[in-house]
Amino acid sequence: MGAQKESTDIQNPPRGIGRRSFLKKSIAAGFAGGGLNGVLAPFAAASDGDAGSDGPILLVIYQEGGNDSLNTVIPHSREDSTLYYRDRPKLAIREEETLMLQDGLGLHPSLGALQGLWDSGDLAIVNGVGQPSPNLSHFKLRNVWASSSLDGDTGSGWLGRYFDHKCSSEDSFDPFVGLETLTSAGLSFRTQSSNTAVTMKNPDLFKYLAANDSHILLPEIDNEFSEQILRKMNDLATTGTRPVLDYARNSIQAAFKSAGEIQEFLRNTKASFPPNNFPNSIVGRDLRNIARYIDTGSRSSVYFTVQKGYDSHTSQFVNNASGRPLLGSHANLLSDLDSAIGAFSTEMKRQGKWDRVVIMTYSEFSRRITENGTDGTDHGAAGSMFVLGGGVKSGLYGQFPSLSDDDRILNNSMDSTTDFRQVYRTILESFMNLSASDAASILRIDAQNFPNLDFLT
Amino acid sequence: MISNLTNFEWNYDHAAHLASRCIMGATRDEVSALFDIGRTQGVEAAVDSLVGRAEDWGNFPFPDWWDGKEISAGGPTGSINDSESRFVHWYLEQLHVANPLGAKMFKFFVDHVPISKKPLLHQNKWIYFFQHFDLCRKHSLGNFKELIHGVSWSGGMMWTLDLKSNSRPRLNENFGRELLELFTLGVNGGYTEEDVLNTAKAFTGRRTEAKHPEDHPYTPYLDDTYSVKFPEKFYLIDTAEKTILGKTFPKISPGQGDVSEHGSAVMDHIFEQPASGTYLVWKLWRYFVAPEPPEELVAKLGNRFKNSYDFEIRPLLKDIFMSRAFYDTKNRGNQIKDAADFMVSCLKNLKVSEPEPALTWPALYFLGYDPMDPPSIAGWAEPEGVGNSWLGLEKALFRSNLPSLWLQETIGFLPVYDDLTSRSIRDIDPPGDFEIKNIIPAHLQEPENLDLLIDELNDHFLPFHRISSKQRAVLIEGYEKDFRQLNVETRVRELIRIFMALPEFQLQ
């Protein structure tokens, strides 16, 4: 489908009715409004310590499909780099083509903005990240990362459990504790409490239909009566009989509750904001939307988004005019991600919030050391992750895996040197300010065995 | 022994549960009919009325543009989007009006072996989509093993999982892995990485072929030119001896038998593995019953499915629907309708037809289901299980709004895409085929019959649930106070809108 318009007459009902009833509702629901150019800021934080005031803002970007880590953080001149060049006769990127880091590693040439952030001391690279006895299934590994459990338990996600922890009582659960720019609710955000954080890809869709759009209802009727009746009926329902029904009801109630805020937000912010130096791609638009929410003082402390398309079994690269494999699908994905992160960091600096932001990228696995026969790479194991932000201690973390034939696992894959849950722990503990024991409990780990990686100040 | 429900136990709730899981958008009438069969002829007869019903898929012929003979690119109007919306409409019509269990299984297999438009549409390979979906519906109540054999020759799958470019000199294990992991044995199905590699090698050499007809050099599209075949070029095939799942397949030499059967022999061996029975049973249990299948029962059914039924779907489904475990009270009303279940529920409950293609496609898309674009080769998120991911907040709102397409006759909740169709969606009229009298007797619409009307709406839309007296009081108050300025018909439409937005309507 094509690009969505920011807003249209059909999308936005006439202002009067919606706005009036929103004010009524928001007072009833106890949302305190902060200032935003003299109008109500629906996202504004209700208390100190939320993201909206001065709390941490975590942005997680999932590179779906298995990013080819060896062509992202490239071991061009290390002890065993000859093996990289031996096993990737077509795909390997030469030292002089990479953007230089240190210790014989360089970034893919599409990652210019990331190199800038490295130079300014805002990028940590964690190498060799994986898990014990990995498996090469997208779907298993996707759940392993999302749930922070090696069996890929789909009951709840690591961020969902963080939300449960943060909103400790059932009544205090605020859907805006986290926001994922997906169309389907993901496992990472799944709570144990059957509460739901916000899943929203298209803010224009995020409303219960108003009568004003109808061809047959009288336009002067305040159609939010139907919504009010529904909300009352749901409030009166018996809970605790069936968990799935409770989930559905919570989801619908949370949707109604957050829709008013989102629509008010859309009315009060210019569609053209922030200045659009974000790439015109899905990840670019998602990061731009997130920057826009943050600008209005969104209460969300966690954002989650997905960049799809990394499963590069075939035609991972296209040669450039000089016959070098620097173009094509993988380069395009990295370039897109790089521009989106670059624009986002610039915007956060402009908003004066860069020190409160951490961006973490991950993929379910990396790919083989050896290229396959169709100009691509098959599923592999450990790889590198990026962690960026004003409070990040720039540098290389985790040992870069050995490429030697003897150290390979699962048909020429890199073995891990760092457990992914150490990265999670470091973020929860050193950035989200949880105690080591709370972080460990959320991640279902024994804190002693998963030491903090210390990449955050 | 598998414990079955007895005729003595059979009651209305059993019929309601069976109907709600086997019939998308099961109506009160369908539940009653099923209950009556069970009561008069027994549980087996009730189950047979679903499982035994044949479907003539010929009632749903491919649209006349499927083979591309009349146009040069992109479908009936030259617009890919227009063709996509017509394809999705063609599919939804079958889910809506075909043999209900056949349709339910058709949807299951479209999810089990999904193909993606990404590698296909820019090549205008519509024909592969029709062929693949036809394969899925043909085997919906057919044979699982034959289906998977067919999938390995399906042009759509060969493009989706790179099988068409997998060869001895250019090995690509994408298909080999997913064949084992997703289609037949499951991620814990007992295969090793070596098995994945060798399976990939066994499936080398298959090719799709596109011949340009001489008189239409730029129309690589015609019926008989998009065949799937085995190449004459022997060097593309990995002929070496290989061991897969404990069995050694000898080296192949030219002239020795049909080399195209090489992968097929490996496929037959995969279906010798115990997991080939249990994996599909496990997945079907999650699809039809509950997210955590009972292990012992899955093992028994899997064994029967493989060893007694030779992968025939009908007897397996019959076993599932007759088992006592299926009817366990904790399984009832405990599954969130997926996007298609929900869409068909709307159509059947309101007694309306599928909206026109330009509306059907975006409606399903924003429910989270673009049948031509699975989020991954594992299909859509949680088609089986409880289905939480179908009700993220954005989708919860969209589901609350979708009935307004008919009840308010508006498209105001659909986002406007300029390039969605060849026309602007703003020029499309909402469907006008909903009439209250088709679902509610006229006299119940009189305000003095409000109590009876609420009963009727409750039974019609939530046949498995009764609203509480307090909730009823809220409805009555809203009707008499808030809706007082509305005319009688609009009040009833608003009440229906409320019933269809309740969480109970999301469940089956």
Contacts with B193 from chain A: Cβ below 8 Å: 136, 410-411
Q: Which residues pair with A178 in a beta bridge?
A: A302
Asked whether residue A426 carries a pLDDT value surpassing 70, the answer given is yes
Does B41 reach chain A within 8 Å, measured CB to CB? no
SS3 state at B33: helix
pLDDT at residue B418, rounded to an integer: 38
Give residue for tokens 């031996």: A86
The angle subtended at Cα B82 by Cα B76 and Cα B88, nearest 5°, is 105
In which residue ranges of chain B is pLDDT below 70?
67-81, 121-124, 209-233, 254-260, 382-386, 415-427
Confidence class for position A430, pLDDT limits 50, 70, 90: very high
CB pairs under 8 A between A and B: 250
- Best probe of the B interface among A143, A216, A282, by most B CBs < 10 A, is A216
Instruction: Please name the amino acid found at residue A150.
Output: L
**B506·A248 Cβ contact <8 A:** yes
Cβ-Cβ contacts under 8 Å for A153 (sequence gap 6 or more): A143, A147
Does B192 reach chain A within 8 Å, measured CB to CB? no
Distance CA(A208)–CA(B397), nearest Å, equals: 6
Distance CA(A320)–CA(A330), nearest Å, equals: 13
Asked whether residue A419 carries a pLDDT value surpassing 60, the answer given is yes
Residue of B394, B415, B498 lying closest to A230 (CB–CB): B498
Asked whether residue A125 carries a pLDDT value surpassing 90, the answer given is yes
pLDDT at residue A206, rounded to an integer: 82
Contacts with A411 from chain B: Cβ below 8 Å: 193-194, 197
* Mean pLDDT value of segment A254-274: 81
Q: Which residues pair with A360 in a beta bridge?
A: A60, A387
SS3 state at B226: strand
- Best probe of the B interface among A6, A7, A17, A137, by most B CBs < 10 A, is A137
pLDDT at residue B123, rounded to an integer: 54
Q: Which residues pair with A413 in a beta bridge?
A: A409
Distance CA(A23)–CA(B308), nearest Å, equals: 66
**B393·A251 Cβ contact <8 A:** yes
**B378·A139 Cβ contact <8 A:** yes
**A8·B493 Cβ contact <8 A:** no
Confidence class for position A29, pLDDT limits 50, 70, 90: very low
pLDDT at residue A154, rounded to an integer: 80
C-beta separation of A150 from B187 below 8 A: no
**A183·B368 Cβ contact <8 A:** yes
Instruction: Please name the amino acid found at residue B368.
Output: G
Residue of B336, B401, B482 lying closest to A244 (CB–CB): B336
* Residue numbers of B between 59 and 118 with CB closer than 8 Å to A: 81
Look up residue B352 and give its two tokens: 């309306």
- Backbone phi, psi, residue B312, to 5°: -75, 135
Look up residue A284 and give its two tokens: 């670019």
C-beta separation of B271 from B311 below 8 A: yes
Distance CA(A194)–CA(B129), nearest Å, equals: 38
Q: Tell me the residue ranges of DSSP E strands in A89-240.
A: 99-100, 105-107, 123-130, 178-180, 198-199
Cβ-Cβ contacts under 8 Å for A343 (sequence gap 6 or more): A277, A278, A279, A284, A287, A288, A291
Does B448 reach chain A within 8 Å, measured CB to CB? no
Distance CA(B435)–CA(A347), nearest Å, equals: 52
Asked whether residue A211 carries a pLDDT value surpassing 90, the answer given is no
**B396·A138 Cβ contact <8 A:** no
Distance CA(B116)–CA(A379), nearest Å, equals: 19
pLDDT at residue B6, rounded to an integer: 96
Confidence class for position A205, pLDDT limits 50, 70, 90: confident
Burial class (CB in 10 A: 0-12, 13-18, 19+), B210: middle
The residue count of chain B comes to 508
- So what's the ipTM on this one? 0.90
Distance CA(A78)–CA(B182), nearest Å, equals: 38
Residue of B165, B362, B381 lying closest to A314 (CB–CB): B165
Which tens digits make up the pLDDT trace of A64-114? 999 999 999 999 999 999 999 999 999 999 999 999 899 999 999 999 999
Asked whether residue A145 carries a pLDDT value surpassing 90, the answer given is yes
Q: In what order do the strands lie in the sheet with A73-75?
A: A73-75, A105-107, A99-100
pLDDT at residue A128, rounded to an integer: 98
C-beta separation of A254 from B488 below 8 A: no
C-beta separation of B12 from B286 below 8 A: no
DSSP B183: I
As a whole number, the mean pLDDT across chain A is 85
The angle subtended at Cα B507 by Cα B506 and Cα B508, nearest 5°, is 135
Cβ-Cβ contacts under 8 Å for B202 (sequence gap 6 or more): B176, B238, B242, B244, B249, B262, B263, B265, B266
SS3 state at B266: helix
* Residue numbers of B between 250 and 309 with CB closer than 8 Å to A: none
- Best probe of the A interface among B112, B337, B391, B490, by most A CBs < 10 A, is B391
Distance CA(A75)–CA(B482), nearest Å, equals: 69
Higher pLDDT, B453 or A37: B453
The angle subtended at Cα A390 by Cα A387 and Cα A391, nearest 5°, is 75
pLDDT at residue A170, rounded to an integer: 59
pTM of the model as a whole: 0.86
**B187·A137 Cβ contact <8 A:** yes
Q: How many CA atoms lie within 13 A of B196 on its CB side?
A: 26
